[in-house]
Amino acid sequence: MAIESRRLDIVIDGRPLRYWWRDWEQTEWQITIPVPDLVTRLSTSSPRAALQQLRQLKGPGVGHAPTRAELFYCATCFDVSEGILSVEVSRTTEAVTWRALGWKDEEQDGDADALISNATDFLFDPAAYDSALSDARAEFRRSRRSRRSWHWLG
Ligand SMILES: [Zn+2]
């Protein structure tokens, strides 16, 4: 029995984040550029990496300094050397805020010259945000357990 692999995408207001991102990049070009083919790590084939990404996306506690969370990776190697799209996450009692979308590489994460300058800031309702994360977490906890039992059977 094979375990079907599924990957979650990041969707904001019903629109995949990669489309928002394509539009920000698009303004710099005369030609139509393709939607980026980078992916999240939110795949049932890598529950450990998925849970780690979800922990980053949770962001800091209220009143704590902002942290950066990884969003999209090279679909083949997931390596930082290919660049990882990341975002700054901060939290108040009213909102979880994403700002300063940009590229992370081996040297830096969120330096001014690695930011997508016209990217929109996103504000999320904290309760809705945390509930989306916790739904996703449940998904990967489940698949991690089923992988373990699969391992014993094998
Ligand atoms: Zn790669």
Please give the full DSSP string across 32-88, using - where no structure is assigned.
Answer: PPPPP--B-S-BTT-HHHHHHHHHHHH-PPTTSPPEEEEEEB-TTT--GGG-EEEEE
Say how many Å lie between the CA of residue 131 and the centre of ligand 1: 31
Let me know: does 116 contact 21? Beta carbons within 8 Å. yes
Question: Higher pLDDT residue, 117 or 97?
Answer: 97
Say how many Å lie between the CA of residue 79 and the centre of ligand 1: 6
The percent of residues in the chain predicted with pLDDT above 90, rounded, is: 62
Say how many Å lie between the CA of residue 32 and the centre of ligand 1: 23
The model's pLDDT over 29-60, given as tens digits with 9 standing for 90+, comes to 777 877 778 899 999 888 999 999 999 999 99
Whole-model pTM: value is 0.86
* CB neighbour class for 154 (10 Å; exposed up to 12, middle 13-18, buried from 19): exposed
Say how many Å lie between the CA of residue 73 and the centre of ligand 1: 8
The percent of residues in the chain predicted with pLDDT above 70, rounded, is: 88
Say how many Å lie between the CA of residue 80 and the centre of ligand 1: 9
The model's pLDDT over 18-32, given as tens digits with 9 standing for 90+, comes to 889 888 888 767 778
Question: According to the model, what pLDDT value does residue 1 have?
Answer: 43
Say how many Å lie between the CA of residue 105 and the centre of ligand 1: 12
Say how many Å lie between the CA of residue 153 and the centre of ligand 1: 33
Say how many Å lie between the CA of residue 39 and the centre of ligand 1: 11
Say how many Å lie between the CA of residue 77 and the centre of ligand 1: 4
Say how many Å lie between the CA of residue 130 and the centre of ligand 1: 30
pLDDT band at 146 (very low <50, low <70, confident <90, very high): low
User: Which range is least confidently modeled, 100-104, 135-139, 140-144?
Assistant: 140-144
Q: Are strands 96-104 and 15-16 parallel, antiparallel or unpaired?
A: unpaired
Domain boundaries, the chain: 11-153
